[in-house]
Amino acid sequence: MRLAQVLHAHPEPVQQQRPGRAGYCITGLPATDLADGRHVILYQAGRSTAGARAMRSHTAAVASDHAVVRDLAESVGVTIAETLGDFADLVRLYTLLDATPPRGWQLGAISNLNIAPELRALASDVIEPEVGRRIRDAGVRYHEYLVGGPPEERRLRFSTTDINDSRQSMGIYNTLSFLIEGKRWDDPSAHIGSRTAGQVVAMRSFLETVASHAEEIRETVDQARASLIVTNSDLPPIHIRQDYVPDPDRPSVRYPIFDLRTWTSREAELGNFEPTVVSLLSVDRPWGYAIPAGLEDLIELLGRHRIRFVRLASPAMAAIERYRIEKAEEVMVEDKKALDISVHADRGEFELEAGTVIVPTRQAAASLIPLLLEPQSLWAPYGERGGRDHAFDELLEVGTVFPVVRIIEAMDGLTEVPR
């Protein structure tokens, strides 16, 4: 992305120009810049009384028709600044965007800590580096999937741990999953030939790499998925809040940028880099969860994820842990808004009513279930990051008992009613 500034444009009055002249003045001059991938910003002077007077003294021209100029400019992709303040803001915006633009192809690997560590290691230490090497060897640019920046203002980090992201949403079932993306362009047709060729190289490199590690991938995935259905005592805690932090051994990252001073692309060593995912909050995995029959929307959500559950045909006693919501504050996690929920937990034997939905965690969705049902989870459908626009916000009312409870001990002899 490159920037070509057009400051204080004084176009001739449209009605006085020679045939074809209006279109050329507005669309012809920036054509080379636009075709070359630059951004052209236009501020048209002479729209106010004072501006028109200044134009006449400077060019002996009369003010042009702003609506016509705007339509002509926008038709070829020129960005219109309505005021000088907007012009300055747009210049700054495009300059910041130029500071760390993606160049070529980028591959994102699974990173959520609840995905089996052996799968994350296979993705980050084996597959991703080899894909990158193959792409570079074919003469196409490649880099790891980074977000954030420019580093003097915001940290750089790898892409999200959110389970609503394509990689993590499949990875949470212990699937080896990746996201591959190409260079961003404002116009989908820009540089379509080279982008298509690069896409072929990137996909071929990925497929060849996966094929060369097929047996290792199959064995690792099979073992990781089998681990999800063992007894919960054999599984590690579930990490319900995560974020990136700095790594003293890797304080910076090499990344392609466009240098506005020299107008060239180059590799730069960028600081303010936070590459390591850590757990901010974790909980032990319970035997299961109990959901009151009245929360049908939440139960329906589990069904859409093919999560297994049963409804109690009659009341049953259970050893449970329940939460009282103590506090809810807005915080920033992974550079986005999130709710920080404080709870007080107590345990005891309680009777669960008939119709209560029991969700055992010993199933393929063992790592997903707590992320959906724990009130403090960054990805629960109760708050800012749940992906359902606060659909269940009323469940997080401070001072109330959270209605979904944790079942601590196995419930034997469950009888099921039809769903």
In the chain, what are the domains? Answer: 2-99 (3.40.50.261), 105-278 (no CATH), 286-417 (no CATH)
Instruction: Return the higher-pLDDT residue of 107 and 206.
Output: 206
Instruction: Return the higher-pLDDT residue of 394 and 237.
Output: 237
Q: Let me know: does 105 contact 183? Beta carbons within 8 Å.
A: yes
pLDDT of the residue at 63: 44
Q: What share of the chain is helix, strand, coil (3-state, %, to 5)?
A: 35, 30, 40
**CA 13 to CA 330: how far, in whole Å?**
53
Cα angle 50, 51, 57; round to 5: 90
Residue pLDDT, tens place only, 68-88? 777 777 777 788 887 777 776
Instruction: Return the higher-pLDDT residue of 204 and 412.
Output: 204
Name the 3-class secondary structure at 260: coil
Confidence of residue 93 (pLDDT cuts 50, 70, 90): low
Which span out of 36-40, 321-325, 376-380, 395-399 was modeled with the highest average pLDDT? Answer: 321-325
Q: Let me know: does 357 contact 297? Beta carbons within 8 Å.
A: no
To the question of pTM greater than 0.75 for the whole model, the response is no
- Least confident window among 189-193, 275-279, 386-390, 411-415: 386-390
Quick one: average pLDDT of 11-39?
48
Tokens of 110: 């699974």
Q: Does position 19 have pLDDT exceeding 80, yes or no? A: no
- Least confident window among 52-56, 178-182, 187-191, 362-366: 52-56
State the alpha helices, DSSP H only, in 27-143.
31-35, 49-59, 66-75, 84-99, 117-121, 128-137
DSSP string across 26-59: IIITTHHHHHTTEEEEEEE---SHHHHHHHHHHH
Mean pLDDT of the chain: 80
Q: Let me know: does 395 contact 337? Beta carbons within 8 Å.
A: no
**CA 139 to CA 240: how far, in whole Å?**
41
Confidence of residue 258 (pLDDT cuts 50, 70, 90): low
Contacts of 333 (CB under 8 A, 6+ apart): 241, 243, 280, 378, 385
Residue pLDDT, tens place only, 305-327? 999 999 999 999 999 999 999 99
The one-letter amino acid code at 287 reads W
- Least confident window among 1-5, 138-142, 385-389, 407-411: 1-5
